[in-house]
Each structure stands twice: as C-alpha cells, then as structure tokens.
Amino acid sequence: MAPRQRIGPALGAVLEGLKLARREFEGSTADPPRQRWVPVALVSALQAGLVAALSGYESAGEGDVTDPAQPDRTAPVALLLRRARSTEYLNPPELLELPGRTVRDIETLVTARNAVLHGPDVSEIPVRNDAYHSVLQVLQQVCLMHPAFPVEEHGILLALIRDEISAFERALAGTG
C-alpha cells in the first residue's frame, strides 16, 4: 500500500481505538476489570496515529512504518515514536518533541498493553490517568495540531477524532 493510502485507514484506527478506550474507561467505574483494556486501545490508537503522521510527506516510503525485523508488519510503537521524533522522518512543526515524562508514560502504557495481551497477570502494572493524557496529547499533535498529511481529505475523521479526544479528556477530568 502506498504511504498516502495508509492515512485514511490509520485515522480510522485512531478513532476506533479512542472510542474503545473511552468506553472501557467509563465502564470501569462500575466494572473495574474493564480498565485493563484502556491501554490496549490507546496503544493501538497511538500506533495508528504515528503511522498516519509518518505516511503524510510526499517523501514517505513503505519502510517508514514497517518493522525492520518483520517488513510485512507495522513497527512497534517505540520505533514509530523514535522515527516521529527524528528529523530524518519529520520536520518541525510535525516533528514530535516530547518531554521524558511523556515518553515514560507511553512506555508504561505499552508495558500494560503487553501484559494484557501476552501476560498472565495485569494487576501489577498500574496506569495513572496522566499516562492516558500523554497519549491523548500526542494524538492531538500528530492528528489535529500539526498533521504531516493533507487534512482536506480526512475532515470528517479528524472531527470525530477531535470529539473523542475531548470526550475522553472530560471523562478523565471527572475521575479526580
């Protein structure tokens, strides 16, 4: 798939990940085990958002979002994040400049996601709402504030993403 053709499906995946994350977060008030699915959904949304960002430039290549060890698969979040923070892939203002705290928050979410999907016990990985905020801020930057892709073609999806981020932020604010 050509890099520019990845953007629409990636933005669709961002939206679906945000919807799932918010639904499970809100549902965890009455059913706490649902909270474990929030990192799974947010990491998926983040991965898709980074794919959209890294696919937006005319100079983008197929290898910009693939895993060097498995070229038929999308790169893991850590690698996509490293690429999105490198001037080799993006230029300001699209270039991600993240404080260490945000990177650590994302690493915590990735660890929690991996525990849910691959580990026997998820109760040992606490995730604070700050980590959720960090991912939402990154998604807001790569999809809404400084997208590297042409926004005209994706206006409806971007509006829905904006709405989901706002709704999730309100849900997080309501918890304390």
The residue whose two tokens read 């918890």 is 175
For the chain, the domain total comes to 1
pLDDT digits (tens, 9 = 90+) for 35-62: 999 999 999 999 999 999 999 999 999 8
Q: What DSSP character marks residue 141? A: I
Domain span including residue 20: 3-173
What are 56-90's pLDDT values in tens digits? Answer: 999 999 899 999 999 999 999 999 999 999 999 99
Q: DSSP alpha helices (H): ranges in the chain? A: 3-27, 37-54, 77-84, 100-118, 129-139, 155-173
Predicted confidence (pLDDT) per residue in 140-155, tens digit: 999 999 999 999 999 9
Q: Is 57 exposed, middle or buried (0-12, 13-18, 19+ CB in 10 A)?
A: middle
Q: Whole-angstrom Cα distance, residue 4 to residue 109? A: 28
Q: Side chain identity at 69, as an amino acid letter?
A: A
The span from the CA of 2 to the CA of 91, in Å, is: 21
Classify residue 71 by its DSSP letter. E
